[in-house]
Chain A
Amino acid sequence: MYRLFVLFTILIFAASSAAAGTTAPRKLKDLYFGEALYYAFQGDWFDAVARLDTELIQHYGLDEPGLDTLYYHINHAKFAVGDFELAYRMHRRAGRAITAVIEGNVEEQVRNEAIFRLARIYFQKDQPVNALYAVERIRGAVPPQVREDLGFLRAQIFMANGRFAKAANILRDLQDAESLEGFSTYNLGIALLKDGKELEGRQYLDRTGRIDSSEALTLAIKDKSNLVLGSKLLKEKNFEGAKQVLDRVHLKGPFSNRSLLGSGWADAFQGSFERALVPWSLLVTREVTDASVQEAMLAVPYAYGKLHVHSKAAVMYGDALEKFGTEVDKLGASIKSIREGYFLRALAREELKQDANWVVKLRKLPQTPETYYLLELMASHDFQESLKNYLDLEELRKKLENWEGDLDAFEEIIEQRRAYYQPLLPAIDREFRRLDSQMRLRLEQRNRIEQRLKAMLVAPRPDYLATSKERIISENIAQLEQKLTADGSTMPSGIDARIKRLRGVLDWNIYTEYDRRFTEAHKHLRDLNQVVDRLKKQYAAFVRTRQAATQSYEGYDDVIRRQRFLIREAREKVDELLARQGHMLETMAVSELTRRRERLSEFQIKARFGMAESYDRATRAQTQDKVSQ
């Protein structure tokens, strides 16, 4: 029985992770793309799509996207986002993204893989005509990893469009595909049966039913094939053939209960009630909530009755009646628990995401419904999709709630930054302006010096390189000359000669040291350049920091207000959809439990009738025995 639950839960939870086919690039250039893949490989589709969306928005917003590292993976990323959306069951958006890839300039294999995924979306969404149109657009090379899956999908699409002969042809070519072992043969059998090739179809179902494998899924399809073929033979009253096929079903497999029940009926219809008791007696010891087990609880006393063991039959009908009563009560309590919201609360528990078998354990929680009765329903496509939607909505609700908290924190940070920077900035700006004007002045001086030195390369000007001391001496000499000749008198010859000698010494020094001084001036200019470079860097760093200070608290109000509005709107919508989706799940579950309760109520009537009849016959037989004695 446990295997049945495992299979169902595998079916429920494996589908989403199997959906994505994106692989990591051989050489990853963009780490943020790698981060989106990290989330995708864990099946965390929301974060994978959100990260990749952010990265793509930023990439498209760049002036030169060709310089961005995502540029190397852009086709891959566009394809991946569609693939992740598909895995997140956003079929409409994924369809658009993948269509964009198909119509873009991409490699043949990438394009064909995208069409394959698009076709799969249409097929999953019950749009077989669109799916057919999509697969017919595949031309040229197909990536090896999807080749067999594509063939199988093509066949399924043809079957869904009623073109069984074409589907059968494709499936014939897939008979050696190891990954499809059992599934290709079973589907070929069904396609042939639908195409009117009854004999050949049965042969393939029979072949599927004889597959030797240790793979759980192959064994499951093998059992299913035997059950389908066995039931078909049973309906056609080929009881011997039905028994042989049904007895091939694995005794611990998910279809074993139904096959044991059918096998018993195959014997019973041939009048072999003793033989019928073998599978039925095994069946009645199994989980009482199973529909086949419950049916067997009536079938066993029925067989004893046919074998004239009326007293035993009467006792067994009594046992069945008691158990049915317990189950009816259990179902009533389960329906009540669902209506009171315990089912949904249990489904939304975190454990469900951590442990696939948790659905089975759900029944152990107080006030939760009897999940054994719901397993078949829970394995159905509609329930799975609805449940996944419910869980996704619950996840969205939590995210939106957290984001509102994040926005509060952002606003607090902004306020703290404003409170810190605003009083400081005016004084800083004033000081900066003062330093800025000083700096500009010095830079202008430096530029003038540079220009002068350049000009001196062409026209040497030793006087420009006179030291300050020499300039002072020169000024003093000029003043002395002026003073001595101020009243128009001529300078005394002795003094004139001395002054000329002094000026001569001065000029001698300036002219003879010109080359050395000129070289030194260049060296000093180079040193100055280094200082100026450092200064410019500090200046740029200050401007950036100053800008960042303002940007750290200004310009967010509108964005945050908008985000708040969007989050509030989304929360309202999510709450509404969560309620509707939850109600839908509850309705499905209550409906299923009610159907099972009604069935059990019918069984109760039959058991009562059987018990009365058996007691009656047992009493009559006893009386006859006494009379004959």
Chain B
Amino acid sequence: MLYWLRGVIVGISVLVLSFAAYAQEVSREQIKGLDEQVQEIKSDVLGIAAELNQLEEKLLYPSNTQVAIFVSLASGETFRLDSVEIQLDGKPVAHHLYTFKELEALQKGGVQRIYTGNIRTGEHDLQVFVIGKPSGGADFRNTKSFKVNKDVGPKIVEISLAAQSITFKDR
């Protein structure tokens, strides 16, 4: 019994440290080698993604008709953004419901590309519908209309949202 007792005490000290029971079957070198190969394939796939992004833009959204609409939160805004809907020339083109992670990313200064599409050169109507809730306040709905002037080059539009206002920035 005492022999067993000693074994248990050794067991306790082993438990304090981390185990490496799989070490016999999987070596550190194997883990490292595979990790490096995973990094390589990630790099390859990222290269494909970058080329595909360019191909997609050229094929689907040529610069002479391209319009991209971005959504950002005004600096310091803490209201809860529930959803945004975008209408171009009276037609709904984008509708987005925000998750907590997405809202947090916007609050940190990230910008969401909510819509990329094609429009003719000239003037277009843009309508933005926002549903949200300010901290401690009641739910609100904001709507605002803007004019978008599409020229020869790609059109980039930023919609900056605050609890009280919707600001249009022509980029």
Contact between chains at A235 and B13 (CB < 8 Å): yes
Q: Kindly state whether residue A291 has any CB partner on chain B within 8 Å.
A: yes
* B48 in contact (CB, < 8 A): yes
A89 in contact with B109 given A234-B12, A258-B15, A584-B31 (CB within 8 Å):
no
Are B48 and A88 closer than 8 Å at their CB atoms? Answer: no
Which of A176-184, A201-209, A381-389, A469-477 faces chain B? A381-389
Task: Give the docked Cα–Cα distance between A292 and B15 (Å).
Answer: 9
- Whether the Cβ atoms of A403 and B48 lie closer than 8 Å is yes
User: Within the complex, which residue of A268, A413, A592 is in contact with B59, where a contact is CB–CB below 8 Å?
Assistant: A413
- 1/0 contact trace for A578-591 toward B, CB 8 Å? 00110010011001
Given A377-B22, A544-B152, residue A573 in contact with residue B121 (CB < 8 A): no
Task: Decide: B64 and A544 in contact? CB cutoff 8 A.
Answer: yes
User: A400 contacts the other chain (Cβ, under 8 Å)?
Assistant: yes
Chain A residue at minimum C-beta to C-beta distance from B100: A42
Judged by DSSP, the binding face of B is: helix
Q: Could you say which residues of chain B place their CB within 8 Å of the CB of A393?
A: 38, 41
Among the stretches B49-57, B82-90, B126-134, B141-149, the one at the interface with A is B49-57
Q: Complex: how many Å from CA A49 to CA B45?
A: 11
> In the complex, are the beta carbons of A41 and B104 less than 8 A apart?
yes
Instruction: List which B110-128 residues lie within 8 A (CB) of chain A.
Output: 110-113, 121
Q: Which of A52-60, A358-366, A505-513 contacts B (4 or more CB under 8 A)?
A: A52-60
User: Could you tell me the distance in whole angstroms from the C-beta of B57 to the nearest C-beta in chain A?
Assistant: 8
Closest-by-CB residue of A relative to B7 is: A602
- Which residues of the other chain, B, contact A403 by a CB distance below 8 angstroms? 48, 52
Q: Tell whether, in the assembled complex, residue A88 and residue B42 are in contact, meaning their CB atoms are under 8 Å apart.
A: yes
Other-chain contact of A577, B41, B48, B110 (Cβ < 8 Å): B41
Residue of A89, A291, A302, A574 touching B1 (CB-CB under 8 A): A302
Interface flag for B91 (CB, 8 Å): no
Whether the pair A592, B41 counts as a contact (CB closer than 8 A) is no
A191 to B77 Cα, complex, angstroms: 45
**Most B CB atoms within 10 A — which of A41, A262, A386, A551?**
A41
Whether B121 contacts A541 by the Cβ 8 Å rule is yes
A560 to B47, CA, bound (A): 14
Q: Which residues of A contact B45 (CB under 8 A)?
A: 396, 399-400, 570, 574
A392 within 8 A of partner (CB): yes
Given known pairs A231-B16, A295-B11, the reply for A34 and B64 (CB within 8 Å) is no
Closest A residue to B171 by CB, please name it: A31
A534 at the interface (CB under 8 A from B): no
Residues of B within 8 A of A35 (CB): 70, 110-113
Contacting A587 at CB < 8 Å: which of B8, B22, B54, B110? B22
Whether A38 touches B34, Cβ cut-off 8 Å, given contacts A51-B53, A262-B12, A377-B22, is no
Mark contacts of B79-113 with chain A using CB atoms, 8 A cut-off: 1 yes-contact digit, 0 otherwise.
00000000000000000000001101110111111
**CB pair B109 A28 closer than 8 Å:** yes
Contact B36 A92 (CB under 8 A): yes
Distance in angstroms between the alpha carbons of A380 and B19 in the assembled complex: 8
With A265-B9, A389-B35, A406-B52: A587-B21 Cβ-Cβ less than 8 Å: no
Evaluate contact between A90 and B25: CB separation under 8 angstroms: no
Q: Is B165 an interface residue (CB 8 A)?
A: no
Rounded to whole angstroms, the CA-CA distance of A376 and B113 in the bound complex is 41
Shortest distance in angstroms between A253's beta carbon and chain B's nearest beta carbon? 14
Give the nearest-CB partner of A594 in chain B. Answer: B21
A38-B105, A53-B50, A231-B13 in contact; A566/B30 too (CB < 8 A)?
no
CB pair A37–B59 under 8 Å, yes or no, is no
- B-chain residues with CB within 8 Å of residue A544 when the two chains form the complex: 64, 152
Report if A316 contacts B (CB, 8 A): no
Contact partners of A38 in chain B: CB under 8 A = 102, 105-106, 110-112
Which residues of the partner chain A approach B171 to less than 8 Å between Cβ atoms?
A: 31, 69
CB distance from A122 to the nearest CB of B (A): 14
Give complex CA distance A560, B54 in Å: 12
Given A41-B110, A53-B46: A595 and B35 within 8 A (CB)? no
Nearest to A38 among chain B residues (CB) is: B110
> With A and B bound together, what is the CA distance between A227 and B42 in angstroms?
40
Q: Once the chains are docked, how many angstroms separate the CA of A258 from the CA of B152? A: 71
- Closest beta carbon of chain B to A613's beta carbon, Å: 8
With A377-B19, A392-B38, A574-B41 as contacts: A50 and B108 at CB distance below 8 Å: no
Looking at the assembled complex, report how far the CB atom of B108 sits from the nearest CB atom of chain A, in whole angstroms.
5
Interface: B166 (CB within 8 A): no
Is the Cβ of A31 less than 8 Å from the Cβ of B110? no
Cα–Cα, bound, A548→B63 (Å): 10
Cβ–Cβ contact B4 & A50, under 8 A: no
Contact (Cβ within 8 A) A389 B101 = no
**Given contacts A377-B19, A382-B31, are A42 and B102 in contact (CB under 8 A)?**
yes
Q: How far is the CA of A385 from the CA of B9 in the complex (A)?
A: 31
- How distant is A174 from chain B, measured CB to nearest CB, in Å? 24
Closest to B49 in A: A50
Q: How far, in whole Å, are A569 and B44 apart by their CA atoms in the complex? A: 10
Give the contacting residue for B16; candidates A89, A228, A559; CB below 8 A. A228
Asked if A552 is an interface residue, CB under 8 A from chain B, the answer is: yes
**Residue of B whose beta carbon sits closest to that of A37:** B110
Name which residue of chain B comes closest to A413, CB basis.
B59
Residue A6 lies at the interface, judged by CB distance under 8 Å to chain B: no
How far is A123 from B55 in the complex, measured between Cα atoms in Å?
39
Task: For A567, list chain B residues within 8 Å (CB).
Answer: 48
**Could you tell me the distance in whole angstroms from the C-beta of A293 to the nearest C-beta in chain B?**
12
Beta-carbon contact of A57 and B111 below 8 Å: no
Contact (Cβ within 8 A) B46 A410: no
Asked if B37 is at the interface (CB within 8 A of a chain A CB), the reply is yes
By beta carbon, the residue of chain B nearest A386 is: B31
Does any Cβ of B come within 8 Å of A23's Cβ? Answer: yes
Interface contact A396-B42, CB-CB below 8 Å: yes
Within 8 A of B (CB), among A371-413: 376-377, 380, 382, 385-386, 389, 392-393, 396, 399-400, 403, 406, 410, 413
Cα separation A396 to B165 with both chains bound (whole Å) = 40
Q: Judge if B24 is at the interface, Cβ distance under 8 Å.
A: yes
Q: Choose among B16, B50, B70, B152 the residue that contacts A227 (Cβ–Cβ < 8 A).
A: B16
Q: In this assembly, does B135 line the interface, its C-beta being within 8 Å of a C-beta of chain A?
A: no
State the CA gap A573–B110 with chains docked (Å): 33
Cβ distance A20 to chain B, nearest Cβ, rounded Å: 11
Q: Which of B30, B38, B102, B110 has the most CB of A within 10 A?
A: B38
Complex-state Cα separation, A427 to B108, whole angstroms = 55
B18 at the interface (CB under 8 A from A): yes
Residue of A nearest to B31 (CB): A382
Using Cβ atoms and an 8 Å threshold, which residues of chain B touch A314? none
The verdict on A556 contacting chain B, using a C-beta distance below 8 Å, is: yes
Please list the 9 inter-chain residue pairs (A to B) with the smallest Cβ-Cβ separation, ordered nearest first. A24-B109, A34-B111, A38-B110, A41-B105, A50-B49, A591-B22, A588-B22, A54-B53, A595-B21
- Can you list 10 residue pairs at the A/B interface with Cβ under 8 Å? A31-B68, A31-B113, A34-B111, A231-B16, A258-B16, A299-B8, A399-B45, A545-B64, A548-B64, A570-B41
Given contacts A38-B110, A377-B19, 5 further A-B contacts (CB under 8 A): A38-B106, A51-B53, A385-B31, A570-B41, A584-B34
